A and B are shown apart, each in its own frame.
Chain A
Amino acid sequence: MAMSAPRTLFEKVWDDHVVADLGDGFSLLHVDRHLLHDGAGPGLARVKDRGYTIARPDLTFATADHVISTARGRPPTSQSRTRALTALRDGTADAGIPMFDIGSGAQGIVHVIGPELGLTFPGALVVCADSHTCTHGALGAIGFGIGASELEHVLATQTIVQQRRRIMRISYRGECSPGVSAKDIILATVGAIGTAGGSGYAIEYAGAPIRRLEIEERLTLCNLSIELGAKIGMIAPDEKTFAYLEGRRFMPAGKAWDAAVAFWSNLCSDDGAVFDREETIDLSDLSPQVTYGTSPAQTIGIGGVIPRPNDIEDAKARAAIEAALSYMGLEGGEPILGVPVDWVFIGSCTNGRLSDLRIAAAVAKGRHVATHVNAWVVPGSETVQRAAEAEGLDTIFKAAGFAWREPGCSMCLAANGEVVPPGARCISTSNRNFVGRQGQGARTHLASPASAAAAAIAGYIVDHRTLDA
């Protein structure tokens, strides 16, 4: 048998899903998992109206996360949002698609519940009409966001037409200092490579620091791949991945599990595999990151100074920074430390998992939220919520003055009407600080759970590593 050419992780997973080569770099790919959220109702109805049937309801899974209230009792917030939720319930029931509905014990943000239920796994091809589907790459899957039209195509065919990506490897080296998290690593990466640096690429994150990350940290890292412009970000599975998945609801057991692990153990980039682009990032001097502008690339270390527009030569780049600082109500040349915050949001598909809440609770324990601050903790799923309550994290948060809410996307994108008021400043563990993202005129600083919790206590942006007792 001839030696096959060395392949990257991405190529191996891609090749395993090719139903047909369509030429010009395009393939018709089999979809292992199609995840639906509460925006999918119209797509389900349209597929039916167009005379098609749902090809594989057994490979399609739904939950509600975007439009639902995270207030206790889940009160309706608008007629159109209620209609969206009803359309999802009706459409999935009609097609026989399993739905993890509110109160099922498994509802949550689609990118939290996928890994948590063992729905997504190494070598899977996962799609969802949400750009943060790249999150699932942390398990060694190809996960990417699709649009509403592609959603209909996947529903009707269980396949998707895609153009192969170029492949970029980002290799990390050095040891992170204590208190520097996966969120800080990926924000710094976006800062270094830029929000379009990954356009057209699938990214593989590699190196010893990646191997040291726990799975939930890897999920945080891969979640921001789209903020690099890359719709796919992946990490080769390893023993930590297998240990994380073993025993989860949709994972096999016994011999079937052993066979899966044996297969997954080959899912890594071969020695000599060719990458279209290589980047190396040293983490030795990295400090906790916080964004100051309206792009995730506009990030600085917690001890850093907001850039002065006048120091930027390129007129267009200068104008962009000026506009960002004007929106954010900040001055170039000022330190980011000490900037007062009005709102704190801990949650989202980036940082709404149990380990994130443990870190935030450790900061909150025995302290109290500053009097002028509204601080929310929104668990990523009912599973996370239950586990957190079992360890008493909710008690710690509530005693410290945080609101402990029901699972959902909430204030990350404000699709459910939970907004940061105009002009108010929020430190958020989510993924986007775009203009108007958390509400019209809302000012967002992206940061880690520890940094967000510390800011809630202090009332201003602070280095969580040196927070006063």
Chain B
Amino acid sequence: MPQPFTTIRSIALPLMRDNIDTDLIIRVERLFGAVPRDELGQYAFEAIRKRADGSLDPDCALNDERYFGANILLAGKNFGCGSAREGAVWAIAGMGIRAILAPSFGDIFVTNCYQNSLLPVVLPQARVDAMAASASGLPGAHEIVVDLESQTVIGSDGVVDSFSIPALRRRALLDGLEDIALTLKRADEIAAFHEHDARARPWAYPKRM
């Protein structure tokens, strides 16, 4: 059962490269059952966090202790582009991230976020840049508040930005709705559709092999 989404107040981890794809977020060899989904967090962003020799890259924000414990990720354009692997979302959620603030996201990634109560927030590039700049300042001085109920982000500079989440997704997150149970309340409508559709498009309903 999903947990209802609550307001986030947290420091933010800045990872401002554009086009961070899902292969970068989680390597394929961690998936397909190699690592249980609730343990994927430790493998998030391996390809960014580590150098070619396997050692941690000290210049990478992911390895910077100022950002340890952040619940908010600041990201560049087209974050989460690429594959449909939901393991990318499980890995980020497994790091403790609950909201990602970016100028744009990959389409399938966004859908996967909603399924896991990870909030994808689209903000103008300039605002994400400003928050990233302030996040690199003194620790403790750059808390950001993300409020889904009012659809606002309050930066550490006090500036309030509005964002928009589709009403259906917002309600599901706030109420912690279980989507299969919700759809099955429409079982009669689905059955009626099938009955009508099987007459209109019989080729779509193959006989059993």
Contacts and interface: CB of A to CB of B under 8 A. Distances in A.
Contacts of A316: 18, 76
B202 A84 contact: no
A159 B19 contact: no
B32 A84 contact: yes
B137 interface: no
B23 interface: yes
Interface residues of B, number: 56
Contacts of B160: none
A129 B87 CA distance: 12
A209 interface: no
B106 interface: yes
B19 A195 contact: yes
Given A231-B107, A434-B24, A147 B115 contact: yes
Most buried by B among A20, A87, A147, A161: A147
Given A146-B111, A147-B115, A417 B29 contact: yes
B63 interface: no
A217 interface: no
A130 B84 contact: yes
Interface string A136-176: 00000000111111101100111101010000000000000
Interface stretch (A21-29, A301-309, A348-356, A387-395): A21-29
B2 to A, nearest CB: 10
Interface stretch (A1-9, A178-186, A256-264): A256-264
Contacts of B66: none
B71 interface: no
B180 A124 contact: no
Contacts of A251: 203
B107 A50 contact: no
A149 B110 CA distance: 12
Interface string B172-184: 0000000110011
B108 interface: yes
B28 A153 contact: no
A67 B32 contact: yes
A229 B78 contact: yes
Contacts of B77: 196
A199 B84 CA distance: 14
Contacts of B18: 316, 320
A58 B205 contact: yes
Interface stretch (B5-13, B138-146, B148-156, B190-198): B190-198
Nearest to B77: A196
A23 B206 CA distance: 32
B32 A146 contact: no
Nearest to A415: B28
A230 B82 CA distance: 10
A320 B76 CA distance: 12
Most buried by A among B17, B32, B76, B87: B32
A185 to B, nearest CB: 21
Contact of B89 (A84, A147, A229, A263): A147
A445 interface: no
Given A66-B32, A161-B168, 11 more contacts: A23-B168, A30-B194, A87-B33, A124-B204, A129-B84, A156-B184, A226-B82, A256-B202, A413-B83, A432-B21, A441-B52
Ordered nearest first, which 6 A-B pairs have the shortest CB separation?
Answer: A149-B115, A145-B84, A147-B112, A147-B86, A196-B78, A148-B86
23 contacts: A19-B189, A19-B190, A19-B193, A20-B189, A23-B167, A30-B190, A121-B203, A131-B84, A145-B84, A145-B108, A157-B190, A195-B19, A195-B81, A196-B81, A196-B104, A199-B105, A199-B107, A256-B203, A413-B23, A413-B83, A415-B29, A436-B27, A437-B23
Interface of A: 16, 19-20, 22-26, 28, 30, 32, 38-39, 41-42, 50, 52, 58-59, 66-67, 78, 80-81, 83-84, 87, 98, 121, 123-124, 129-131, 133, 144-150, 152-153, 156-159, 161, 163, 195-196, 199-200, 226, 229-231, 250-252, 256-257, 259-260, 263, 295, 316, 320, 413-415, 417, 422, 432, 434-437, 440-441
